[in-house]
Amino acid sequence: MTVLQMPGAKSPGHELLDSALSQLARAAKALDLDPGLARYLSQFERTLIVALPVTGDDGRLDVFTGYRVQHSTARGPGKGGIRFHQSVTLEEVQGLAMLMTFKCAVTDLPLGGAKGGVAVDPRSLSKNEVQRLTKRYTAAILPIIGPEQDIPAPDVNTDEQTMAWIVDTVTMMTGKHSPEVVTGKPVDLGGSRGRTEATGRGVAFVTLEVLRRQGKRPEETRVAVQGFGNVGSVTARSLAAAGCRIVAISDVSGGYAVPAGIDIDRAIEHARRNPARTLEGLAGATRISNAELLALDVDVLVPAALEAQITADNVGEVRAPIIVEGANGPVTAEADRALTERGALVVPDILANAGGVVVSYFEWVQSRAQFYWELDEVEKRLEIYMRRAMELVLAKAKAYDCPPREAAFIVAVERVAGAITKRGIFP
């Protein structure tokens, strides 16, 4: 589906990039960062744009555009997912790569930031066509990825099967078994236990910690979750298990509300059995739009779909006092300022949804060592990293008298800038 833009309107990708650059500038100012260093962090180390010819099942040749952007490798190899979506643009991938740099830094991972994407609606392709597209894309970006260069992972419309195809392509082209070239793989191909659920569990952990610090009981908390893919569904299930009432969920088919609370396990099973893999036809729920979901009178709103969902145009309708960013960049910079001014608490994406990259780091370590951990060890270590990052961000917020988002960027920018300074500028 083509999204029409009004003349002069910015695309969601531009909004995301502008928001990331705005947050970088605010953190640089707070840290009194050297202007040259700030300019360096606003640029991208490497950008690759590739043409991807794919022969369809009917013999017709289609050509898609793919991207891989590496923002910074000052703290370690690039790390970031690959998304297949019709709205993918260079600006979107750049913004996401920059966010990955700071997400890895705020959780103190020895990794940099990267991101990839292909402008395609995978629902319009057969499974075999998606496989051919994935393998062609992998071959095209192979010169700049690798376990010590840049490690891809799943993102929107990609999953462990996509990662398995990438591992196979790299192995065939290099003659070397390379499970560490990606994370988010199937467990029996070297993936980490708990990786699939990690992002959603991290979002739920942060949400519950915010509720605890505010003296709110989960049993008295109403939650709306926008987006019911891997992140949204796991977040909803984890919060429901903790006692929260999930009153609304949504996906590409629309929104579904049950004031008394949705049976999340049943909703997940419904989507799994649905031929379209959506919530379409969910019994016992009232149909609402995604816009109506964002405007619901709830205690917690978790936007876990795509970027730029809460903007200057609709922020006035958002009533939730706590917004936890399950997706990357779902709140634009202007909307974020408006929410902060009215007293809402926004837990930023680079902290809230960092659970996925934390366990991706664990998987990379395990794959390189060829020694794999049990699930309880993964979950225990994940909580340590998430709790440590959250406590540091909240401490910075108090020290700088600023919102959590600005505090998170201050932590991250300080770490990345420190790494660059200590390494020295080459040559």
* Distance between CA atoms of residues 73 and 144, nearest Å: 12
What is the CB neighbour count within 10 angstroms for residue 55? Answer: 12
Closest CA to 47 of 147, 117, 108: 117
At residue 395, φ and ψ (nearest 5 deg) are -65, -40
C-alpha Rg value of the chain to the nearest Å: 20
Active site residue 216: no
Task: Give CA–CA dist 363/357, Å, rounded.
Answer: 9
Rounded Cα–Cα distance for residues 327 and 226 (Å): 9
Residues 6+ apart with CB under 8 A from 214: 322
Quick one: which H or E segment has residue 54?
strand 46-55
Q: Say if CB 357 and CB 111 are below 8 A apart.
A: yes
Spatial separation of the C-alpha atoms in residues 8 and 147, rounded to whole Å: 41
Angle CA 186–189–190, to nearest 5:
90
Q: Cα–chain-centroid distance for residue 377?
A: 23
Q: How far apart are CA 146 and CA 391, in angstroms?
A: 33
Q: Which of 10, 79, 103, 115 is catalytic?
A: 115
Three-class SS of residue 17?
helix
Among 339, 379, 385, residue whose Cα is nearest residue 194 = 379
Are the C-beta atoms of residues 184 and 214 closer than 8 Å to each other? no
- Give Cα 248 to chain centroid, integer Å: 21
Which sign, positive or negative, has the C-alpha torsion 152, 155, 158, 164? positive
Query: Which of 196, 227, 85, 288 is CA-nearest to residue 93?
Result: 85
Give residue 310's region: left, alpha or beta (phi > 0; psi -120 to 50). beta
Beta bridge partners of 335: none
Buried/exposed 241-262: b ≥16 CB within 10 Å, e otherwise: eeebbbbbbbbbbbbbbbeeeb
Catalytic residues: 115
